[in-house]
Structure 1
Amino acid sequence: MFKAEWGWFKNNKFYYVVMAALILIPTIYTVVFLSSLWNPYGETQDIPVAVVNLDQKKTYEGKELNLGADLAKNLTKSDAMDFSVISKSKAKEGIDDGKYYMVITIPKDFSKNATTLTTSKPTQMKLKYETSSGQSFVAGKMTEAAVKEVVTNVSTEVTKTYAKTLVGSIKQLGAGTKEASEANTKLASGTKDAQDGATAIQTNLQALADGSLTLENGTKQAQSKLSEYTAGVSQADAGSKTLSAGISDYTAGVASAATYSQQIKAGLDKMNSELNSSETQAQLAELNQEYAQLKPYLSDSGLQDLIKTYKTATNNSLDAALSANGIDGDKKAAIENDFANNQAKDESIVKIEAKLNSLIKDGKLSRAMQQIDSALGQVTELQTDVSRLSSGIDQVSDGLNTLNGKSAELQNGSQNITTGLDTLSGKNQEVLSGISQLSDGASTITSGSQTLASKSGELASGLGSAVSGNQTLADKLGDASKKTNSLKSNNTVFNQISKPVTSQGHEKDRIPNNGTGMTPYMYSVGLYVGMLSFNVMMDMVTPRRRPKSFLGWFGAKLSLLTFYGVVAASLVFALSTWLLGLRPVDPLATYGMLVLTAMTFGAIVTSMVLWFKKPGSFVAVVFLVLQLSGSAGTYPIQTSSAFFKWLNPYLPMTYAVRGFRETIMIGGSAWPDVKVLLGILVVFLIIMSGYYAVNMHTYKMMKDPVAIED
């Protein structure tokens, strides 16, 4: 049977040509088609794109911005696509006529919108584009991707410009922060002097309080003695000796009170002199002035304002700031070089904000502010009270001195006391009332001086807290100044700010171009079409001599099918590697997949044609369409409809495409797909052999008009 089958070609030489043409069909279908789209994404430089520049230049930070012209110029230099800068009317005419696949329009406010970042209402820069995907859907998608890349590049350049301005402003902020740090250090020093003065006031007030207590005790003693005196007036005759003793005690008390009043007066004079000295007044004035200047920034809301100031003070570039301050020439170059040599610390503003927020959260500054306000108010009250107390103690001191000077006369007059007892008795009530008022006044002096001493202590404590707070703030501002000054102003920093995130990808599979990616699909389609053509042109039914067994008949036809499958697969592999430059990861496995796929599709198509004749060819074509749609050869099956997602696992081409992908691009094992294809091949070979077995009786008695002698 084998010899008869192949000998038939010898007598029908025309079928040599037919066989040769059939063998070329998979190659033509695969190689020719793949060559047309082998590397379309690498040839986009010839896709025509029109560029219309309507942008109007704009001045920003003393510099002229003409971003539209710059973008148009860069596009014409790009080899990504064939960009042409033309008028709006020509661009519309060109895209309508199919001359251009896309028109990119740069609007007139393109440069203007780039300068709105620091305004209250920033406006985005927008590129307008119009595509014509009707002429080529793929070209439309390519041009859209190109526009996205252009937008990304323009955004990066504009952000870099913003970054330059931001870094310059941060540098200026650092200089201002340094000055604020120095000012706070001075304030802390002045507050320390005020604290020392408050401590001295507290010491003198304590001395006054002690002297006042002595005066109070003395007046109480005098009040007690006068009570005894007035009680003894009625007994003057009998108690003259007691009166003399009482007068002696009285005069001693008066002398003691006079001494103490002098001490009080000296203390008050000293305290009043210190409080009203030009140095103290100057220190208090300076303290009040510096405190008034600092107070808005020491409150929680003030610190929030300071944080906002750091965040928003980013509008002047370094170059503009130096020029505005009259710094140019070598000095300007030296400053810019110094900035360039510092290490970038772009997180400094965030750290300043965090530290200031920490001060707010702890409440230290808020408590210190309350203490300072209270202490300053008490200092004013202290000055007034001391002035009043000094005036009153002068009167008391004068009275006591006068009284002390009359003690001798009182002592001598005690001898004449008897004669004046009647008159003195009438004045007893007035004397008791006066001494009671004196005692009350002494008590008031004592209480007031104690209060002043206590409040001056609180003032000293509050000023101490202010010293600590001011010094802490000065240190923090100093740290902030150092960090902002360490920020570099060079292209590396600008690039980091404008494009902080980049991507670095790695393709694990070997897919150098679009054609390689399409090869598994086209291999499968080409081999299926080849087998379909083979069955249309070649007779896989009629035996070339009377068959003796169905296996001989089946084997002879299978040898013809195998020959065609192997030769066609070999030619497809050879030409795709030689002509197209396909470089499979595993060439041998790829060739084996080609032969297996050809034989599997051959068995499927032949079985359909054998059993269903011409309708079988139609069924084979329908089956091809289903496989083209559901094998995920071009797009992921996940993007297909629910029907094809369900159908995908039941299509032989699904496993052929997956197996080719493993051997050509991925480099993994194709064995799972090979097992499925082998199973399908065996099943359809059995179906083929079944046809010959069933139809054996039809040709069993045939004559051998085409038989070939053994």
Structure 2
Amino acid sequence: MFLTEWKHVLHTKGLLKIILGILLVPSFYAVIFLASLWNPYANVRHLPVGVVNQDVPVTKADHHYQLGAKLTQQLVRNHSADFHRLTMATAQHQLKTGKIYMVITIPRQFSRQAATLGSAHPQVIKLHDQTNAGFSFIAMKMNTTTATKIQTAIEKQLTTSYLQTMGRNLRQSGHQLTTASHALAQTTTGLRAIATGNQTETTNLQQTTAGTVKLAHGLSQLKQGLAAAQPGFAQLTATDTALQTAMTTQNQALQQLKQALATAQPNLRVIRQQIDQLQAANRLKSTKLVAMNRQLTQQLAQGNQQAQTALTATQLGLAHLQTADTQLTTGSTRLTSSTQQVTTGNQKITTALKTGGQQLTTTGRRTTRQADLTVNPIKLSHYDATHVQNNGTGMAPYLMSVALFVGCITFNIIYDMFTPHRRPKTAGDWWAQKIPFLFEFTGLAATVMFVLLGLINHLNPLEAIRTYAFCLLTVWTFASIVTYFNLILGKTGAWLMLIFMIIQLGGSAGTYPIQLSNSFFQTLHPYLPMSISIDAFRSTLSIGNSIWPEITIFVGLIIVFNLLMLLTFHVNLPKLNQRLS
């Protein structure tokens, strides 16, 4: 009893293939669809993101800041996303056309603002990111997360740089204090030198005083010697005067003698008396002269000795004075050098302590704003140019396309699109009996879907009329494709369309960006009808781009597949007439 249906299936021509195909549908749906989005977050590195660097480098305190170029280089080399260095115009165009999903803009003041970090008046470092949620709401969310990660990474780098700068300032402060210590040691050495110089100066002054005393004593002795020799000089003068007088007298006597001798009768007795007087005078003069000469010699010798002693003492005093003067000059030079050393040391101490103190004060004095900006210096501003109100609006293009395709498959499975209800005269007549009804019914289904999305889900398209018009164009395109395969292959064709729909679910990038999928679906993506419909619905619902390329493709597909259906009706018309006759 339980095997009755299985026997029917096994013995009914073609039914086994249908049953086996239906058996595989859940597996195909689960395996194929999940394969397309098995691990999208692991492939975020393939998500295209544009980087626009408008930063202007600055130089501050002999340090060149070029953080915009550095950040751009780091992002391009990074693998957290597929970053591309772009100009602003190119980035905006690619964001609008869906070639990239986010633009990170580094503003002109980025380096200038970053250079203020750690100063008394730090500025918020701004970073801009722009997304286009109309192409993928999930991609926008992913990119926002990526931007937040970039913000965190930059903040970590800037905070690390600030801490390194603060450490460098502390090292400089320590160096300044060390310099002050060295200068203080030099000052101490200079003060010691000054003390030694003062002591030396005192000794030299004492020596100068002693030399001055000795000089004064020698001069006193010299004065006394000169005073002692003065009487001898006076006697010498008197003796010289007496000698001159005696000579004069002797000359007069000799003159008289010559006159007496010149007369004819000299008085010998008188001459003898005169000669005796002259001899007596000569002896007396000689005796006095010898005595006076001896006394004068003694006095002069004594005065000379006293003068010599005084001169020796004077020379010794002068030598002491000269030595003391030299030592005073040397000591004064050393004292001046030591004083200069102390002055220089004091200046170094003052400068080092002032600089080190300022650095320590600046480093240690942090306001709440400075502390906050030290930890969170980046302000990330997010902007999305599209009209995506929520996740439902972002998912609508995908689910609308899936719904319309599923509706066409369901219609062809339930409704017989092959058998005419009256004998067709031509293939065109056969087409006219079936296809207009197909378009009318599927068009009505698309209209009901669009209206209910607005009433129940509150879908608010950016361009409502174009969205509705493209719903009709999409359902007619899908209906043409599905009906054609159903006409030529029957239920097998419906099964193939079901598998094709599953493939489109994975390859149309309706949920996640196609860059997050595997290479198989990335290759199929541009050629899938649902990829085209999703792109067009994104434009009419949120973005506002032109959909003429998608319209052209779908109109072409409708024409091609309806011509193929005409050909199918033409081929099957003789068989149909034969069967109906």
TM range (shorter): 0.5 to 0.7
Q: Deviations over 1:3-59 (max 9, x none)?
A: xxxxxxxxxxxxxxxxxxxxxxxxxxxxxxxxxxxxxxxxxxxxxxxxxxxxxxxxx
Tell whether 2:218 aligns with 1:403.
yes
* 8 A Cα contact 2:225 2:304, kept in partner: no
- Find the partner of 2:201 among 381, 386, 397: 386
Tell me the residue number matched to 1:506: 383
Tell me the residue number matched to 1:92: none
Tell me the residue number matched to 1:600: 477
TM-score for both structures, normalised by structure 1? 0.44
Residue 396 (structure 1) shift: 1.3
The range that moved more, 660-669 or 591-600, is 660-669
Give the whole-Å Cα distance in 2 for the aligned partners of 1:468 and 1:390. Answer: 32
Residue 477 (structure 1) shift: 8.1
Q: Deviations over 1:648-688 (max 9, x none)?
A: 11211111111111111223223333333333333322222
* 8 A Cα contact 1:352 1:480, kept in partner: no
User: How has the CA–CA distance of structure 1 residues 558 and 418 changed in structure 2, closer, same or farther, with 3 Å as cutoff?
Assistant: farther
* 8 A Cα contact 2:205 2:324, kept in partner: no
* 1:28-47 → structure 2 map (5 Å cutoff): none
* 8 A Cα contact 1:535 1:609, kept in partner: yes
Tell me the residue number matched to 2:411: 534
Residue 554 (structure 1) shift: 1.8
* 8 A Cα contact 1:655 1:674, kept in partner: no
Tell me the residue number matched to 1:447: 326
SS in 2 for 1:506: strand
User: How has the CA–CA distance of structure 1 residues 429 and 371 changed in structure 2, closer, same or farther, with 3 Å as cutoff?
Assistant: farther
* 8 A Cα contact 2:480 2:562, kept in partner: yes
Tell whether 2:376 aligns with 1:561.
no
Unpaired segments ≥5 residues, structure 2:
1-137, 153-161, 233-294
User: How has the CA–CA distance of structure 1 residues 640 and 486 changed in structure 2, closer, same or farther, with 3 Å as cutoff?
Assistant: closer
Give the whole-Å Cα distance in 1 for the aligned partners of 2:453 and 2:558. Answer: 25
* 1:187-586 → structure 2 map (5 Å cutoff): 357=172, 372-414=187-229, 418-419=297-298, 441-466=320-345, 468-469=347-348, 472=351, 499-586=376-463
Q: Deviations over 1:279-316 (max 9, x none)?
A: xxxxxxxxxxxxxxxxxxxxxxxxxxxxxxxxxxxxxx
* 8 A Cα contact 2:212 2:317, kept in partner: no
Residue 393 (structure 1) shift: 2.0
| Partner AA of 1:462 in structure 2 | Q
TM-score for both structures, normalised by structure 2? 0.52
| Partner AA of 1:648 in structure 2 | H
Tell me the residue number matched to 1:685: 562
The range that moved more, 402-411 or 585-594, is 402-411
Give the whole-Å Cα distance in 1 for the aligned partners of 2:169 and 2:371. Answer: 24
Give the whole-Å Cα distance in 2 for the aligned partners of 1:669 and 1:433. Answer: 125
Give the whole-Å Cα distance in 2 for the aligned partners of 1:502 and 1:357. Answer: 31
- Find the partner of 1:676 among 536, 553, 575: 553
Give the whole-Å Cα distance in 2 for the aligned partners of 1:396 and 1:503. Answer: 89
User: How has the CA–CA distance of structure 1 residues 577 and 484 changed in structure 2, closer, same or farther, with 3 Å as cutoff?
Assistant: same
User: How has the CA–CA distance of structure 1 residues 654 and 433 changed in structure 2, closer, same or farther, with 3 Å as cutoff?
Assistant: farther
User: How has the CA–CA distance of structure 1 residues 353 and 613 changed in structure 2, closer, same or farther, with 3 Å as cutoff?
Assistant: closer
* 8 A Cα contact 2:462 2:542, kept in partner: yes
Residue 597 (structure 1) shift: 1.2
Tell me the residue number matched to 1:622: 499
Unpaired segments ≥5 residues, structure 1:
1-137, 153-346, 705-710
Residue 693 (structure 1) shift: 2.4
| Partner AA of 1:570 in structure 2 | T
User: How has the CA–CA distance of structure 1 residues 615 and 471 changed in structure 2, closer, same or farther, with 3 Å as cutoff?
Assistant: same
SS in 2 for 1:539: coil
Tell me the residue number matched to 1:665: 542
Aligned residues: 361
| Partner AA of 2:208 in structure 1 | I
The range that moved more, 400-409 or 454-463, is 454-463
| Partner AA of 2:469 in structure 1 | G
Tell whether 2:402 aligns with 1:587.
no
Give the whole-Å Cα distance in 2 for the aligned partners of 1:352 and 1:542. Answer: 87
Give the whole-Å Cα distance in 1 for the aligned partners of 2:170 and 2:297. Answer: 85
| Partner AA of 2:329 in structure 1 | Q
Give the whole-Å Cα distance in 1 for the aligned partners of 2:457 and 2:436. Answer: 31
Q: Deviations over 1:474-518 (max 9, x none)?
A: 7768978997999766xx677656654443322322222222222
Residue 426 (structure 1) shift: 12
Give the whole-Å Cα distance in 2 for the aligned partners of 1:548 and 1:665. Answer: 48
SS in 1 for 2:386: coil
Residue 394 (structure 1) shift: 2.7
Percent of pairs identical after alignment? Answer: 27
* 8 A Cα contact 1:603 1:684, kept in partner: yes
Tell me the residue number matched to 1:632: 509
Residue 381 (structure 1) shift: 1.5
User: How has the CA–CA distance of structure 1 residues 666 and 419 changed in structure 2, closer, same or farther, with 3 Å as cutoff?
Assistant: same
Residue 601 (structure 1) shift: 0.9
* 8 A Cα contact 1:371 1:459, kept in partner: no
Structure index of larger Rg: 2
| Partner AA of 1:403 in structure 2 | G
